[in-house]
């Protein structure tokens, strides 16, 4: 008996701070977490596309002792609430609370989930049956682009958050020539739709 190959899913992996939300440093209070302009509508477009919308974020503030892991959970729940207000949602949120050199165990750890290592994406690939070679990573740091490379996905860097500074600092990096640069999350999503021949629902970003 021949078993047919199961069709793999696709996802857009999003960084949190500086990509979906305003970059304010370490978020140790939910009042410090707010959406960037248009990011809610961009994720709403993803929700209506064939792609899963998945967050993958480093949160080493836990290892550094700046806040507890419970604070990350609260912040991410608040993020889902903010998105829900705009009719959007994240299919899953993955976070890495570790740091290889600071803090106490178990958070001081040379894990495989701290970006740019691909552990969070590999876990998502298993849980959502993803083909990572057909996925995208959007973030505001070079490490997000390296994460995409390490996972076999395609990379996009946004100029929001630390993006503009990262691009200026690394402007001679030949790797960046293969990375699409977008002004914000919405532009990144629309570029992906163009690459994938997906027609966006224009009323959401023209309103």
DSSP letter for each residue of 6-59? PPPBEEEEE-SBTTTB---SS--SGGG--BPTTHHHHHHHHHTSSEEEEEEEE-
Give 63-102 pLDDT, tens digit per residue.
999 999 999 999 999 999 999 999 999 999 999 999 999 9
How many helices (H) and strands (E) in the chain? Answer: 7, 6
Does 69 belong to an annotated binding site? no
Q: Distances from the Cα of 135 to the Cαs of 63, 76, 191, 195, in angstroms?
A: 29, 22, 13, 12
Does 136 belong to an annotated binding site? no
Give 127-163 pLDDT, tens digit per residue.
999 999 999 999 999 999 999 999 999 999 999 999 9
The alpha carbon of residue 22 and the mean position of all alpha carbons in its chain are separated, in whole angstroms, by 13
Within 13 Å and on the Cβ side, how many CA atoms surround 181?
15
Does 59 belong to an annotated binding site? yes
Whether 17 sits among the annotated catalytic residues: the reply is yes
Does 131 belong to an annotated binding site? no
Domains of the chain: 10-206 (3.40.50.1000)
Whether 173 sits among the annotated catalytic residues: the reply is no
* pLDDT on residue 204: 47
Give 159-177 pLDDT, tens digit per residue.
999 999 999 988 777 788 8
* pLDDT on residue 201: 62
Does 135 belong to an annotated binding site? no
* Three-class DSSP category at 186: helix
């Amino acid at each position: 008996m021949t078993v047919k190959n199961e069709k793999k899913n696709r996802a857009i992996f999003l960084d949190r701070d500086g990509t979906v939300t305003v970059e304010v440093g370490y978020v140790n209070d939910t009042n410090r977490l707010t959406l960037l302009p248009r990011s809610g509508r961009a994720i709403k477009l993803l929700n209506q596309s064939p792609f899963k919308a998945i967050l993958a974020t480093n949160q080493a503030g836990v290892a550094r002792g700046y806040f507890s892991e419970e604070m990350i959970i609260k912040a991410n729940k608040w993020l889902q609430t903010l998105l829900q207000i705009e009719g959007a949602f994240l299919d899953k949120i993955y976070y890495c609370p570790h740091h290889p050199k600071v803090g106490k165990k178990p958070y001081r750890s040379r894990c495989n989930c701290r970006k740019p290592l691909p552990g969070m994406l590999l876990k998502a690939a298993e849980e959502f049956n993803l083909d990572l070679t057909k996925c995208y990573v959007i973030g505001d740091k070079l490490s997000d682009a390296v994460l995409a490379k390490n996972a076999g996905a395609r990379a996009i860097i946004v100029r929001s958050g630390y993006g503009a500074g990262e691009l200026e600092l690394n402007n001679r990096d030949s790797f960046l020539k293969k990375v699409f640069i977008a002004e914000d999350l919405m532009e990144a999503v629309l570029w992906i739709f163009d690459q994938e021949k997906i027609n966006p629902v224009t009323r959401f970003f023209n309103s």
